[in-house]
Amino acid sequence: MIRTSVNARSGVVPAAAGTTGATTARARTIAKAAAGVLAVTALAAGCAPDAAGGAQRVAPPATGPTADAKPGGETGGPAARPAAAPPEASPSPAPAKSSEAPAEPRVLMSTGSQGAQVRELQARLRQIGHFDRSPTGYYGTVTVTAVRSFQGKRGLPGTGGTDTVTWQKLLGMTRKPTAAELTPPTERRVAKPDERCMTGRVLCVSKNSRTLSWMVDGRVLSSMDVRFGSQYTPTREGVFSVYWKSRHHVSTLYDTPMPYAMFFSGGQAVHYSPDFAANGYNGASHGCVNVRDEGKIASLFAQVKNGDKVVIYW
Instruction: Give the residue, 101 or 148, on which the prediction is more confident.
Output: 148
Separation of alpha carbons 176 and 147, rounded Å = 18
In the chain, the percentage of residues whose pLDDT exceeds 70 is: 68
SS3 228: coil
Q: What is the pLDDT of residue 25?
A: 56
Q: What is the pLDDT of residue 191?
A: 85
Instruction: Assign 103 a pLDDT band (cuts: 50, 70, 90).
Output: confident
Residue 200 is classified by DSSP as S
**Residue-wise pLDDT tens digits, 111-148:** 999 999 999 999 999 999 999 888 889 999 999 999 99
SS3 29: helix
Q: What is the pLDDT of residue 8?
A: 43
Q: Identify the CA nearest to 221 among candidates 188, 251, 167, 185.
A: 185
Q: Is the pLDDT at 96 greater than 70, yes or no? A: no
Where helices occur in the chain by DSSP H, the ranges are 21-44, 116-127, 141-153, 164-173, 179-182, 274-279, 294-303
Q: What is the pLDDT of residue 58?
A: 44
| C-alpha dist (Å) from residue 103 to 106, 147, 155, 178, 265 | 9, 22, 19, 34, 55
Q: Is the pLDDT at 2 greater than 80, yes or no? A: no
Separation of alpha carbons 290 and 272, rounded Å = 6
In the chain, the percentage of residues whose pLDDT exceeds 90 is: 57
How large is the average pLDDT for residues 282-293? Answer: 94
Q: Is the pLDDT at 77 greater than 60, yes or no? A: no
13: Cβ–Cβ under 8 A, 6 or more apart, which residues? 4, 5, 6, 7, 27, 28, 30, 31
Q: Is the pLDDT at 298 greater than 50, yes or no? A: yes
Separation of alpha carbons 122 and 134, rounded Å = 8
Q: What is the pLDDT of residue 239?
A: 98
**Residue-wise pLDDT tens digits, 25-51:** 565 655 555 555 444 444 344 443 334
Q: Is 45 exposed, middle or buried (0-12, 13-18, 19+ CB in 10 A)?
A: exposed
Separation of alpha carbons 161 and 177, rounded Å = 20
Instruction: Give the residue, 156 or 82, on which the prediction is more confident.
Output: 156
Q: Is 314 exposed, middle or buried (0-12, 13-18, 19+ CB in 10 A)?
A: exposed
How large is the average pLDDT for residues 18-29? Answer: 52
| DSSP per residue, 2-15 | ------TTT---PP
Q: What is the pLDDT of residue 187?
A: 74
How large is the average pLDDT for residues 86-112? Answer: 71
Instruction: Give the residue, 290 or 23, on which the prediction is more confident.
Output: 290
307: Cβ–Cβ under 8 A, 6 or more apart, which residues? 241, 242, 243
Q: Is the pLDDT at 240 greater than 80, yes or no? A: yes
Residue 229 is classified by DSSP as B
Q: What is the pLDDT of residue 183?
A: 81
Q: What is the pLDDT of residue 188?
A: 76
Q: C-alpha 227: how far from its chain's center?
A: 45
| Phi-psi map region of 160: left, alpha, beta (phi>0 left; psi -120 to 50 alpha) | left
Q: What is the pLDDT of residue 160?
A: 97
Q: What is the pLDDT of residue 24?
A: 54
How large is the average pLDDT for residues 279-292? Answer: 93
Q: What is the pLDDT of residue 134?
A: 81
Average pLDDT, the chain: 79
Q: What is the pLDDT of residue 72?
A: 41
